């Protein structure tokens, strides 16, 4: 079955999480059309962003503590996030916002498994999140485990490069 021949019934017949992933990918296609006015070809590439790892901004959350960190979208292309993933030693909450617009992406801090999902059922976004070049996603992580907790955060999706001249 080709991607263009997918019917609503065929999508609903897919097992989870494949159904959610297909719906997210179809949402990306529509979002790109809305932004570009046409469906993109070679200017969209799969990409992943992970958190900054510096001495000042590490992946360690102290026991029952809170840390702030960010992920910066590079200047060469916009990024369309389709899912968020995390790995940690224990539970934590996350509060996420987009820096350049001061837009909060949630009304309260969310439990890590609620936002990121699990390895078996990852957290796909219901609608892809379009982030302009040079945008930073900032977040606060608060430990719930009562022990030092290493949390690794990443966002997956597509880099959206400007169309080449004459393309």
Check residue 8 and give its pLDDT: 82
| Average pLDDT value for residue range 133-142 | 92
Task: Mean pLDDT check: name the lowest of 1-5, 24-28, 89-93.
Answer: 1-5
Kindly indicate the confidence band of residue 23, based on its pLDDT and cuts at 50, 70 and 90: confident
Break the chain into its structural domains and give their ranges. Answer: 11-160
Q: CB count, 10 Å around CB of 53?
A: 10
Give, for 33, the enclosing helix (H) or strand (E): helix 18-36
Q: What is the pLDDT of residue 2?
A: 42
Each residue's pLDDT tens digit, 72-109: 999 999 898 988 999 888 999 999 999 877 788 899 99
Query: Is residue 108 exposed (0-12), middle (13-18) or buried (19+ Cβ within 10 Å)?
Result: exposed
Q: Which of 29, 12, 9 is nearest to 20 (CA)?
A: 12
Domain 11-160: give its CATH code. Answer: 2.60.120
* Per-residue model confidence (pLDDT) at position 53: 57
DSSP 37: S
pLDDT tens digits, one per residue of 33-71:
666 666 666 677 889 998 865 555 567 889 999 998 889
What pLDDT does 1 receive?
A: 39
pLDDT at 108: 96
């Amino acid at each position: 079955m080709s991607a263009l021949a997918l019917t609503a019934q065929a999508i609903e017949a897919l097992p989870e999480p494949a159904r959610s992933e297909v719906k997210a990918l179809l949402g990306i296609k529509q979002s790109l059309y809305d932004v570009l006015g046409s469906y993109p070809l070679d200017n969209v590439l799969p990409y992943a962003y992970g958190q900054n790892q510096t001495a000042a901004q590490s992946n360690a959350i102290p026991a029952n503590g809170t840390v702030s960190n960010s992920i910066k979208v590079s200047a060469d292309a916009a990024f369309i996030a389709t899912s968020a993933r995390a790995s940690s030693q224990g539970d934590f909450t996350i509060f996420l916002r987009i820096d350049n617009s001061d837009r909060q992406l949630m009304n309260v801090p969310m439990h890590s498994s609620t936002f990121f999902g699990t390895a078996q059922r990852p957290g796909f976004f219901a609608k892809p999140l379009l982030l302009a070049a040079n945008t930073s996603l900032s977040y606060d992580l608060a430990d719930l485990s009562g022990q030092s907790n290493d949390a690794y955060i990443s966002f997956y999706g597509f880099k959206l490069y400007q169309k080449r001249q004459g393309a």
